[in-house]
Amino acid sequence: MTATRVRKFDGGTWLADAPVGLWTLARWAGTAAVVLFFIFPMIFMLMVSFKTQPDIASGGLIPEEWFWQNYPDAWNSVAVGTYLRNSIVAATLGALVTLVIAVPATHAIVRYRVGGKFLPAFILATYVAPPIVALFPLFFLLRSIGLVNTLFGMALVYGVMNLPVAFWLLSSFVRRLPEELEDAARIDGAGYGSVLLRITVPLLMPGIISTGIICLILAYNEFLLASFLTRSESTQTLPVGLSLYQGDRQLRYGQMSVASLIGIVPVYLLAMFFQRWLIRGLTAGSTR
């Protein structure tokens, strides 16, 4: 049976119109259901941002009346802009710190087996410990170098915090790089640094960017360490800012939703912008 006709995409080019069968329709329906499941909290939050406080308390998805006032109120009662800027700065710097350390480290561990079998296992093991364990040591370490309550201090903490994740993500990319490319570069006269910078890093770029984005998002979403290590409006990040919508007597859910939606925008833009870049296979045509 052919319900309708659509153009099919084979990953590279559009093929001619192809008939759509029942199976394809079922797959679309399935995909739609999964997408809806994941997007529903977002929709719910969007709806809450248009509700009055009593309307929120009464439940239901669609607002009884569309209450726009949450938007200016959210912006005026808490310094959303500053928090957003702080988050972006701390997370971006943090991701850069992670990459600068993780790329050469992962390359050395995977390619030259630095640290044998112990080091990779140890790196991952550190990630298993709950972050709260690190809270006091980090606080005292930061204080001793005068970086408590600074964005740079937060960037440093995030940079180190995400190293295990970055190592774990990058190692699979490094393993997939043909070793012979590095051998060829060494024979062509490149030392370790040149091989890394001229061959490995350019070819790892898709992996480096996706790892960077993931680390950035992890740092961007981090609440616990930020709430403890920063104290002033000029350094607090958005997750900490969101917690400030809790007033003396009530939680301002509507405004909180507004601020949350604003906070999501940069992450979504980032993911959308790099999506196409990430799937481009850079290594095509290098070997065989």
Least distance in angstroms from the C-beta of 101 to other proteins: 24
Name which position in 84, 99, 105, 199 contacts other proteins (CB under 8 A): 199
How far is 55 from 260, CA to CA, in rounded Å?
19
Task: For residue 281, give every residue at least 6 positions away whose Cβ sits within 8 Å of its Cβ, in sequence order, or none.
Answer: 206
Q: Reduced to 3 states, what is the DSSP secondary structure of residue 15? A: strand
111, 174 contact by CB (below 8 A): yes
# of chain residues touching other proteins (CB under 8 A): 24
Query: Judged by CB under 8 A, does residue 188 bind other proteins?
Result: yes
Stretch that binds other proteins, among 64-72, 153-161, 199-207, 257-265 (CB under 8 A): 199-207
- For the chain, the straight-line distance linking the first and the last C-alpha, in angstroms and rounded, comes to 43
Exactly one of 191, 232, 248, 272 binds other proteins (CB under 8 A); which one? 191
Backbone angles phi, psi at 11, to 5 degrees: 100, -25
Task: Rank residues 51 and 107 by Cβ distance to other proteins and give the closer one.
Answer: 107
Residue pair 206/277 in contact (Cβ under 8 Å)? The answer is yes
**Per rule CB under 8 A, is residue 202 in the interface with other proteins?**
yes
Q: Which of 79, 108, 190, 270 binds other proteins (CB under 8 A)?
A: 190
Q: In one letter, which amino acid is 21?
A: G
Strand partners, 124: none
Which is closer to other proteins, CB of 64 or CB of 188? 188
Residue 209 lies near other proteins (rule: CB under 8 A): no
User: Which residues contact other proteins by CB under 8 A?
Assistant: 178, 180-181, 183-191, 194, 198-199, 202-203, 282-288
